[in-house]
Amino acid sequence: LAHIVYSPSKMFDIFIGQKWTTAAGNKGNGSYNFVGGGFQAGNTGFLAEEAGATFKMSGINFTLAMTGKGRNNAGRINQNELGENPGFATDLHYSHDMFKIGLAGHLSSFNYSSDLDYAEGGDRDSYLGVLYGSVKAFGLKLYGEYYQGQALNNINSLGIGAAVSMANGVVSDEIKESGYWATLEYGPTENDLFKLGYGSASVDEDQKADLGSMSMNTNSYIFVNYGRTLEDNLTAFVQVTQHSTIYGPDTNEVTFDANVFQSG
């Protein structure tokens, strides 16, 4: 994170640099795994180079930004994402003492480039739409979001699907996907906090039959953690996370599970 914010008034900010993408929705999912954070399993949005502005008034925040592109498939297709046009991201949310609700999005297109291995293809579009929010009631806090998108890895959104699918060396359809996550927090005292979270992402049903054997089909996780505030800016925590990942087409899918314990 390295960006500059200039605020000519309390209602207006101008920013430029690398930051959490404007289309990230909630900036965290409650996990103490700050690197993973449920990405590729219902949580989207990561870092991006952006230049834009935010307007603020009576709990309403509206942000519009020009934003950088991400990388495409990890192979040789559009590795450097050629093209002159930037991406565009926006976020509109309303915050209240008891709740927050927002809508964010990211749109970009990518110019196809070829090399000796992949000689055919065409320009592709990427997009992300996120509905997110939080609510506080009865000593509990609930956070969550839902997204739909296409070729998300093109726009640093860490989606489940590859940017594009390939058949016989030809770039074909963009991978479409959707996902969601929710986290419930409970703090019995000022120093103790328990969190339970779940998230899942899946490639669209119409495209699952075309997935390769090593392509993600569905990915989900569930975690529970406990944090104890020892003093200002110092928290001790433990967390247990269970991951379940399905690879391959529906006709020949394989499931892998992993269990992770963390403390710190």
DSSP state of 43: B
Residues with Cβ within 8 Å of 46's Cβ and at least 6 positions away in sequence, in order, are: 20, 21, 24, 39, 156, 157, 158
Is the separation of the CB atoms in 143 and 31 below 8 Å?
A: no
Burial 19-43 (b: 16+ CB within 10 A, else e): bbbbbbbbeebbbbbeebbbbbbbb
Kindly report the CA angle at 49 between 47 and 68, in degrees rounded to 5?
100
User: What pLDDT is stored for residue 74 in this prediction?
Assistant: 46
User: What pLDDT is stored for residue 79 in this prediction?
Assistant: 47
Q: Is 24 left (phi over 0), alpha (psi -120 to 50) or beta?
A: alpha
User: What pLDDT is stored for residue 236 in this prediction?
Assistant: 98
Is the separation of the CB atoms in 210 and 249 below 8 Å?
A: yes
Query: What is the full per-residue pLDDT of the chain (264 aa) written as tens digits?
Result: 899 999 999 999 999 999 989 999 998 899 998 878 898 999 998 888 899 999 999 999 999 999 876 654 544 444 445 555 688 999 999 999 999 999 999 998 776 655 545 545 566 788 999 999 999 999 999 999 999 999 887 787 888 876 555 554 445 567 899 999 999 999 999 999 999 999 999 999 988 887 878 888 999 999 999 999 999 999 999 999 999 999 988 878 899 999 999 999
Is the separation of the CB atoms in 194 and 185 below 8 Å?
A: yes
**Residue 134: how many CB atoms within 10 A of its CB?**
18
**Residue 148: what residue type?**
Q
**Residue 153: how many CB atoms within 10 A of its CB?**
22
Count of residues making up the chain: 264
User: What pLDDT is stored for residue 249 in this prediction?
Assistant: 86
Which is it for strands 87-95 and 140-150: parallel, antiparallel or unpaired? unpaired
- Residue 215 is encoded by which pair of tokens? 């392509």
193: which strand partners?
227
Instruction: Note the Cα 247 to chain centre separation in Å.
Output: 20
C-alpha distances (whole Å) from 59 to each of 79, 89, 153, 240 are: 41, 20, 32, 36
